[in-house]
Structure 1
Amino acid sequence: MPKVALIVDYGATLKVKDGRFQLHVPEKREAGREYVVRWDLSPPEVEAIVVAVKGVSVSAAAIDLAARNGIHIYFFSGSKPLAHLLPATYSPVQETWLAQIRAASDPQRRLLYARLFAEGKLANQRTVLEEYEKRARASGNASVIPPLTRGIQAVGEHLSKLQASTSVDEVRQEEALAAKAYWEAIAALLPPNLGFELRLTRQRIRAEPDVEVDPFNRALNIGYSALLREVWAASLVAGLNPYVGFLHAPRTGKMSLVFDLMEEFRAVAVDRPLITLARTHPETLEPLRSN
């Protein structure tokens, strides 16, 4: 199955040898710095190439090989999409874009899709809480059971209200209320020394530069950035317009559809593994603590 080839090494160079992509990365050796091959992939093995750090070189031969095989190259600056290099012959399926725009312009269809995206998110949030409640009961960890039970009930109630919502604004409101209950329950699971009390998004951190950001919030933001890269690449490979969304409000330059598609994966792809890491090896998150 084709994969997304991710480049995260500073100083790496993407080259071509014998018709295959090779990523060369620098390594320190006794004799000095040497380059080693991190991965070697044939074009049919590659669905897209994502450059996630600065200081990466992409050869003209690699660009040519990608273009001739319909492989898109994406560039990120930190967590923000920076550029998208695609073949000159690329043309998204016009019918797909038109259908997407028509759906987003129809109030009833927009509500339907917005509701479905939010339902997926809340259902997975509830599943994560239920899994940890089950573990707590099995291990006899009684102190965390009440907050988890409250969280499960609250998310379930907001899920029911969301399913009966009559506007996108109502969907967003129920999603936000469910998120508050969800993170309150998660806070009870985490070691107190991590200092996690509430969810701090990147937007809030930028708006309040003096706010103290705990390691777990920083880890979540890093994880969501990685998820965004994957979903952005997948949406373009699928021929969708990443800027035409349903749940998230449209804004110039905002990839609303990408944020829509991310929602149901946040709890299972990012939250759950980070919760487990924080509970079993909290020391690994300490380097992320604010100074």
Structure 2
Amino acid sequence: MFEGLNEMVLPIYNPLHQDIIMGGGTIAFVKDWGAFLHVKDNMIVCSLKGKDMWSVSPVELSSIVFLVTGSVSSEVIALANEYGIDLVFFRKGEPVAKVIPARYGGSMKVWLSQLKAWKSSRVKYASVFVRGKLRNQRVVLRYYERKYSLDLSTEKLQKLEEEVISCSTVKQVMGKEAEGARIYWSSVKSLIPLKFPGRKRKSEDPFNVALNVGYAMLRRRVWSAVISAGLNPYVGFLHSIRSGRESLVFDLMEEFRPLVDRFLIGKAREKGEEGISLKEVYRGLSNVGEDEVFTQARRLARSFEGEEYSPFLMK
């Protein structure tokens, strides 16, 4: 089903089309190779080959994120320290370093609020992540139910989505998620034209391989968003805290996994026995949900300061 595996190299991920994301603590992105960040008239300016690409007042910024190799002046670093701006550096889609002000800035406040929420509202957040996932899984299946007059158990998923609200422990929430997964993947199995044994991460069948690739791309995207939003990636709500595991990244991924599923199910049905190459998988998923992921991470960060958090919902 998938061709050219040995030829593929995971492309460098460019998370956003926008250079600056406003609202709730502005994030500025440096995404052009060789860009230079400097100070001009007390504004932070991003220049490329002598041309100014964007400028922003430091008072508006919460983070500056370097997605590619660039350079930054000591004046920018000094302003970042003065105004509590985090500097975040990525390489090939993975976070390399985060430079926080010597007196600590907004991220520390977010981290403390996140820990308080973990202690007081862990079940609440875990249930929101799972409700979003169940709802979006239902959206994926509902499309095929309506188009082909099939019964793909979407009513069962809706029932589970409603039941999650009344869960009193994370274990109960995870139980509903697991039950939903059994229903969902059983229905997906009936939609895939080629042999699909059901969702198994270590399976070598073509569709599971595609899912693994798609989820890996999603993980990198969510990781970027979590770091950029100033969240602690290791303090999760649904996924337990474990040394070295970015539990919050896996939490936030749950709402977006059905986006990956929808694309791959459609491709598998479109290609049939011909199959699709991994290149098509990378190309097709390179931009899926990118803006929504960053928006959702920042929404999550704001929720720790008192705003209501609601899951990402597919249309």
Gaps of 5+ in 2: 1-21, 284-315
Which residue of 50, 64, 67 corresponds with 2:78?
A: 64
Q: Do the aligned partners of 1:241 and 1:257 also contact (CA within 8 Å) in 2?
A: yes
Q: Secondary structure at the match of 2:152?
A: helix
TM-score where L is the length of structure 2: 0.59
In the alignment, does 2:123 pair up with 1:121?
no
Q: Do the aligned partners of 1:72 and 1:87 also contact (CA within 8 Å) in 2?
A: yes
Q: Do the aligned partners of 1:232 and 1:258 also contact (CA within 8 Å) in 2?
A: no
In the alignment, does 2:76 pair up with 1:85?
no
TM-score where L is the length of structure 1: 0.63
Q: Secondary structure at the match of 1:117?
A: helix
Q: Do the aligned partners of 1:22 and 1:37 also contact (CA within 8 Å) in 2?
A: no
Deviations for 1:100-153, whole angstroms, at most 9, x for unmatched residues? 5455346xx4333322332233223323443x24xx74xxx42xx52xx41523
* C-alpha displacement of 1:171: 1.7
Q: How does 1:146-185 map to 2 (within 5 A)?
A: 146=150, 149-182=151-184, 185=187
Q: Do the aligned partners of 2:84 and 2:106 also contact (CA within 8 Å) in 1?
A: no
Deviations for 1:13-57, whole angstroms, at most 9, x for unmatched residues? 4344444444445xxxxxxxxx3658312135544222234x333
| Count of residues paired in the alignment | 253
In the alignment, does 2:70 pair up with 1:48?
no
In the alignment, does 2:238 pair up with 1:250?
no
**Distance change >3 Å, CA 98–CA 65, structure 1 → 2:** closer
* C-alpha displacement of 1:175: 1.6
* C-alpha displacement of 1:249: 0.8
Please tell me the root mean square deviation across aligned C-alpha atoms, in Å: 4.3
Q: Do the aligned partners of 1:196 and 1:217 also contact (CA within 8 Å) in 2?
A: no
Q: Which letter maps to 1:86?
A: I
Separation in 2 of the partners of 1:64 and 1:276?
50
* C-alpha displacement of 1:176: 3.4
**1:32 maps to which residue?**
none
Gaps of 5+ in 1: 26-34
Which residue of 206, 227, 230 corresponds with 1:232?
A: 227
Q: Which letter maps to 1:117?
A: F
Q: Which letter maps to 1:263?
A: E
Separation in 1 of the partners of 2:197 and 2:47?
42
Identity, % of aligned positions: 34
Q: Secondary structure at the match of 1:150?
A: coil
Q: How does 1:276-287 map to 2 (within 5 A)?
A: 278=267, 285-286=279-280
Q: Which letter maps to 2:125?
A: Y
**1:260 maps to which residue?**
251
* C-alpha displacement of 1:255: 3.7
Q: Do the aligned partners of 1:118 and 1:175 also contact (CA within 8 Å) in 2?
A: yes
**Distance change >3 Å, CA 56–CA 186, structure 1 → 2:** farther
Q: Do the aligned partners of 2:138 and 2:158 also contact (CA within 8 Å) in 1?
A: yes
Q: Do the aligned partners of 1:219 and 1:274 also contact (CA within 8 Å) in 2?
A: no
* C-alpha displacement of 1:215: 5.2
Higher relative contact order (CA 8 A, sep 6+): 2
Greater helix share, structure number: 1
